[in-house]
Structure 1
Amino acid sequence: MSKALLDKAKTLEPLFPNKSTALFGGKSSGILNWNDIAYPHWYKMYKRLVGNYWQADEINMSSDVKQFPSLSKAEQDAYLKIIGLLATLDAPQTRTALLISLYATDASVQSIMAVIAQQEAVHNESYSYVLSSVVSLDEQNKSFQHGRKDPVLLKRNGNLVKQYNQFVEEPTIDNILKTLVYTSLLEGMFFYSGFAFFYNLARNNKMVGTSTMISYINRDELEHGRFIAELFRATLAENPEQNTAELTDWVYTHFKESVELEIEWSKYVLAEVEGIDLEEMAGYIKYRANKMLRMMGLSEIYPENVDNPMKWIRAYVDNFDGTKTDFFEQKSRQYTKTSDLNGFDDL
C-alpha cells in the first residue's frame, strides 16, 4: 500500500475542474456546485445533517435537576462516568472531522465534514450543559477528568487515540481509511452502551431531559456513521490498490478488539445499574459492530448477533432498518424548548 503523504487541499485552484477528480489527492477548483459533484446522493446526506440542527440549552432540564439526587449511588456514578466517556469521544471528533476535510479535495466532503464537526462541538457542549444542571462545578470537572485518568477508559480508548494521532503525523490514504474505520466504530458502536444507560433511565421515567438530549446526539451519530461508511467505501473504490487482504484483516482485528474493550467497559460502568442485562448488552454491542461492518461493505463477524437483542431501545432513536420510531411523538418524552438556562424558571 502507498505510504505517500498527502498534501492539504488547496483552498482555490481555478485551473482545476469544479467536480473533483478524486476524494483525496485529486484536482478540484475548490468551488462547490451541489448539482455537479462526483457523488450526487451526498447532497441528500448534507440536507439531512443540516435538518438535524439543535442546541443543547433548548432542552428543559428542570425535572432532571430534581431527580438526580434521588438516583441510586450506582446510577449517579454511571451517569457521571458515561458523560465523561462521551465527552472524551466527541471532543476529538470535531478536530478529526476538520482534519479529514483539510485533505479532502472533494468540496462536498469538506462541507459535509464541516457540518459533522459543528454537530460534534454541540454534542460536547451538551455534556457540560447537562452536568451543570445536576452537579457542582467540582463534580463536573471530575467527570471530565475520567478520559485522562480512569484506567479502564484509557485502555478502552487506546487504539482510537493511537490511530487518530497517527493520521495527524502521517496523512496518507492508508491512515485516512483506518481513521474512517475508527470514526465509524466511534459513531456506530462506542457510544451505545452509554446511550443504553440513559435510555434505561428514561424508560423508568428518570432523567428524561438528559435522555432526550442523548436521543438528539444519537440521531446525529447515526447520520455521521452512515456518511463515514460511505466515504470509506468510496475512498477504497477510488484507491483499489488499498483494497487488500491486509487492510481487511486489519479492519476485522480492530473491530474485534474494539468490541471486547467496549464489553469490558460496559461491565465496569453498568455492573451495579438496575435494569440492564450485561449479557444482553454484550450482544447489542456485537449487533452494532455487525451493522457498521455491513455498512462499510464488509462481512459480519458475529453471526449469532444479527438481530437487536435490546429492541426496547428502538423507542428512543431512529435506526437504519427502515423502521423509524419518532421519540418526539412519545408523550413521556416531549421535547420542550426553554428560553432560560436549564429551565430553572420552571422549578
Structure 2
Amino acid sequence: MDPVHPNKATALFGGKSSGILNWNDLAYPHWYKTYKRLLGNYWQSDEVNMSTDVKQFPLLSEKEQETFLKIISLLATLDSSQTRTILLASLYATDPSVQSILAVIAQQEAVHNESYSYILSSVVSLDKQNEAFEIGRKDPVLLKRNKKLMEQYNAFAQQPDVEDIVKTLVYSTLLEGLFFYSGFAFFYNLARQNKMVGTSTMISYINRDELEHGRFISELIRAVLSEHPELNTPAFSDWVYARFRESVDLETEWSEYVLQDVEGIDLEEMAGFIKYRANKMLRMIGLSELYPEHVENPMKWIRAYADNFDATKTDFFEQKSRSYTKVSDLNGFDEL
C-alpha cells in the first residue's frame, strides 16, 4: 500500500500503484470479465461422484492402471509447482487487478492438485497413492520432460526481474496449454469407452480452468511486452520459438512413453495434436505457427474438451452422461 501513487497502476510489473483495486478503473478493463469467468468456474473435487470409478478401476487392464497412476503423478507434479509459481507472480505484479486474477488462478491450481489426491484416494490404497506421487520425483522420462520448465520456475523464484517473469509466463502457457494434454487425452479416451467417467468429469473441469488460465496468461504476456518494448525483440521471439520446439519434442516423447499400447490412442495422431496445440498457443501470444501442417485438430473426438474456451461447459459429458453430483459421503462410498 503506497497512497502517493495512483490507483490505476503505471505498469503491470515494475510499475507504481497505490495498491487499491478499483475494478471500474483499470488499465486493461476487459480483465474484469476474465476475473468473473474464473469465479464462475468454481467447483470442488469431492462434489464429483466417484462411486462407479471405485468399482471400475480394478477392472482396468494392467497397462491402463499403470498409465492412470503415471499421468496423475504428472498432473500433480505440474500443478504443485504451478500453484506456487503463479502465487509468486501475483506478488510481483504491480497492477492490483493482475494480482487478484493470478491469486484466483493460483487457488484453482491448488484445487486441481487436491483433486488428484481425491481421485487416487477413491481408487487405490494409501500405499499406492504415495507410490504414485513418487513417480514425479523418480521417473527418468518424466524428470527429463519437466527439467527445463522447473529450471525456469526456480530461476524466477531466485531472480524475479521483468524478463524472468515474462519467460516464466511463457513456460506457464506451455504448462497450461500443452503439457497437460496427453494426460487429458488418456482420461477422455477412457470415458469414450464408458470407463472412469467420474475421473474424466473432474479432468474436464480442470481442462476448462486451464484453458481460461492459458488465455489470460497469453494476454498478460502480450501486455507486458507492449509495456516493455526493450524485451519485445526478435531475439526474445526466437527464444520463445525454441522453447516451443523443445517442449513439443519432450511432450511427444513423454506421450509415446506413457501412452504406448493404450487401446484407443493413436500415437501419430497424438503427436499431431501436440503440434496443433503448440500452434494454437503461439497464435494466442501473437507469434506465427511453427507447424503449418498441423493447423487442424487431428483428434476430432477430443474437440469437445480441448478445442475452445466458451463451449467447454457444454461438452461431451454434459450432452450425454456427465453429472456434477454432490454426494452425501466421501467419494460416494455410500452407493457401493
Asked if these proteins are the same fold (TM beyond 0.5), I'd say yes
1:164 pairs with 2:153: yes
Say if 1:90 and 1:102 are closer, same or farther in 2 by CA, change over 3 A. same
Structure 1, unaligned runs of 5 or more: 1-11
Residue pairs, 1:234-249, within 5 angstroms? 234-249=223-238
2:170 aligned residue: 181
CA distance, structure 2, for counterparts of residue 321 and residue 110 of structure 1? 24
1:28 aligned residue: 17
CA apart distance, 1:325: 4.0
CA apart distance, 1:335: 2.1
1:77 pairs with 2:47: no
2:218 aligned residue: 229
2:186 aligned residue: 197
CA distance, structure 2, for counterparts of residue 306 and residue 322 of structure 1? 20
CA apart distance, 1:322: 6.9
Contact 2:305 2:312 in 1 (8 A): no
CA distance, structure 2, for counterparts of residue 160 and residue 189 of structure 1? 12
1:125 aligned residue: 114
1:98 aligned residue: 87
CA apart distance, 1:328: 5.0
2:289 aligned residue: 300
1:113 pairs with 2:99: no
1:68 aligned residue: 57
Secondary structure in structure 2 of the residue aligned to 1:120 = helix
CA distance, structure 1, for counterparts of residue 261 and residue 63 of structure 2? 6
- Of 137-146 and 207-216, deviating more is 137-146
1:6 aligned residue: none
CA distance, structure 2, for counterparts of residue 134 and residue 82 of structure 1? 14
1:271 pairs with 2:260: yes
CA distance, structure 2, for counterparts of residue 268 and residue 106 of structure 1? 42
Cα distance per residue 1:112-154 (max 9 Å; x no partner): 0010011000000000000000001111011111111000000
1:53 pairs with 2:42: yes
Structure 2, unaligned runs of 5 or more: none
CA apart distance, 1:63: 0.2
Contact 2:149 2:171 in 1 (8 A): yes
Contact 2:207 2:305 in 1 (8 A): no
2:129 aligned residue: 140
Identical columns (%): 78
Cα distance per residue 1:197-226 (max 9 Å; x no partner): 000000100000000000000000000000
Cα distance per residue 1:261-312 (max 9 Å; x no partner): 0000000000021000000000000000000000000010000000000111
Contact 1:317 1:326 in 2 (8 A): no
Say if 1:186 and 1:141 are closer, same or farther in 2 by CA, change over 3 A. same
Secondary structure in structure 2 of the residue aligned to 1:240 = coil
1:252 pairs with 2:241: yes
CA apart distance, 1:323: 8.7
CA distance, structure 2, for counterparts of residue 70 and residue 15 of structure 1? 65
Contact 1:318 1:326 in 2 (8 A): no
CA distance, structure 1, for counterparts of residue 324 and residue 265 of structure 2? 25
TM-score using structure 2 length: 0.98
Letter in 2 for 1:248: S
Letter in 1 for 2:66: D
CA distance, structure 2, for counterparts of residue 92 and residue 336 of structure 1? 29
CA apart distance, 1:321: 8.3
1:282 aligned residue: 271
CA distance, structure 1, for counterparts of residue 304 and residue 69 of structure 2? 24
Secondary structure in structure 1 of the residue aligned to 2:115 = helix
Aligned Cα root-mean-square deviation (Å):
1.3
CA apart distance, 1:339: 2.7
1:338 aligned residue: 327
Q: List, as ranges, runs of 4+ consecutive aligned residues in structure 1 with deviation greater than 6 Å.
A: 321-324
TM-score using structure 1 length: 0.95
